[in-house]
Structure 1
Amino acid sequence: MARKSLTKPRKMASQKRSRATVDALVEATARILVKEGFDKASTNRIAEAAGVSVGSLYQYFPTKESLVAAVIERHQQEIMQTVRGELTGILAQPVEQAIRMLVTVAIKAHRVDPKLHRVVAEQIPRVGELEKLATFNRENYTLFMAYLAQHRDELRVEDLELASFVCVTTIEALTHNAVLHHSKMMSDEKMRALVDEASRLIIGYLKG
């Protein structure tokens, strides 16, 4: 049976100098992932790019998978900061406005370092961190379900858990593909049109 890859840091950085080393390693990993891909992101290559010794790298990270996991964690935190800030007060909004806000925020979230987002999306299954990438993770499902529950009288759907899954997954898929795989054809005007069309799709499903 194959040994499971170690994706957790070996130790946490507490002092200013050690935190700087960890930050340099994570940043170097991100740069190499974007420019060269997962297969070329060896620990030797990462240490060299970060300007530290391999021995220093191994003090904090046991494998390159653990470094990739740290990159994913940092990227996820950046995304969620965008999402949380933008969605403040959404529970009080009418359905039409709330859905437009969700679609718009999803586009903004995917525009947080989109090159890294694309690479990370391809590498997550290889480092066992699948649950950490989705822009709309459990926190967003919970928020959306809470919204639907508060506006239940305006909706035709009855199974709010299923409706939340359908809506959040649809928004995620549309915005992910638009930003990461069709960015050249997606002008600002087309992105606005995407918000219109995706919102019409979701609102039609929810309200009938």
Structure 2
Amino acid sequence: MTRKPLTKPRKTASQERSRATVDALVEATARILVKEGFDKASTNHIAEVAGVSVGSLYQYFPTKEALVAAVVERHQQEITQTVRGELADVLAQPVEKAVRMLVEVAVRAHRVDPRLHRVVAEQLPRVGELEKLATFNRENFTLFRAYLENHRDELRVDDLELASFVCVTTIEALTHNAVLHHAKAMPDERMDKLIDEATRLVTRYLLG
């Protein structure tokens, strides 16, 4: 049986100097992942790019997977800080405006360091951090489910659980692929059109 790699840090940095070391290691890992890929992100290489000793690296992180997990967690935090306040504002909006806001927020979330976002999406299964992404998606699903419940009388759909899944998954898939895999074909003007089309698609599904 293949042993699951350790993805938890050995200890938390509490002093300013140790926090600086951890920050340097996480940033170096992110740079290597983007430029060279997961297989090139050895602990020796990460320590070299970060400008610290391998011994210092192992004081805080037992494996390179633990460092990748730290990159994933930091990236998820950056996305959450970008969108969480805006998502709360959705609840007070009429259906079409609420859907547009969700699509726009999803685009902005995927534009938070898109090269790193793409690598993170690819590496999540390898470091066992899918639960973090699942938690973030569940939060979006729960918020949208609550929104639909508040607007039940306006909707043509009856199964709000299924409708929430359809809408959140559709918005995530469209914006993920547009921003991360078709960026060159999606300048701002074309992205605005995509937002229009995605809004129309989801709104018509909900309202008929």
Give the TM-score normalised by structure 2: 0.97
* 1:82, distance to aligned residue in structure 2 (A): 1.1
> What is the aligned-residue RMSD (CA, Å)?
1.2
1: CA distance, partners of 2:88 / 2:2: 45
* 1:135, distance to aligned residue in structure 2 (A): 9.6
Gap regions ≥5 residues in structure 2: none
Number of residues of Structure 1 aligned to a counterpart in Structure 2: 208
1: CA distance, partners of 2:39 / 2:53: 20
Residues 27-84 of structure 1 show CA distances to partners (whole Å, capped at 9, x for unaligned) of 0000000000000000000000111100100010000000000000000000011111
* 2:161 equivalent in structure 1: 161
Does structure 2 conserve the Cα–Cα contact (< 8 Å) formed by 1:136 and 1:172? Answer: no
SS of 2:88 mapped into structure 1: coil
2: CA distance, partners of 1:182 / 1:5: 33
SS of 1:186 mapped into structure 2: coil
Q: Does 1:203 align with 2:185?
A: no
* 1:5 equivalent in structure 2: 5
1: CA distance, partners of 2:68 / 2:179: 22
Alignment of 1:172-183 (within 5 A): 172-183=172-183
2: CA distance, partners of 1:139 / 1:11: 28
Residues 98-150 of structure 1 show CA distances to partners (whole Å, capped at 9, x for unaligned) of 00000001001100000000111111110011132469511111111111111
Q: Does 1:20 align with 2:17?
A: no
1: CA distance, partners of 2:67 / 2:4: 15
Does structure 2 conserve the Cα–Cα contact (< 8 Å) formed by 1:8 and 1:61? Answer: yes
* 1:160, distance to aligned residue in structure 2 (A): 1.3
Query: AA paired with 1:8?
Result: K
Query: AA paired with 2:36?
Result: E
Gap regions ≥5 residues in structure 1: none
Distance 1:179 1:134, change over 3 A: farther
1: CA distance, partners of 2:106 / 2:85: 12
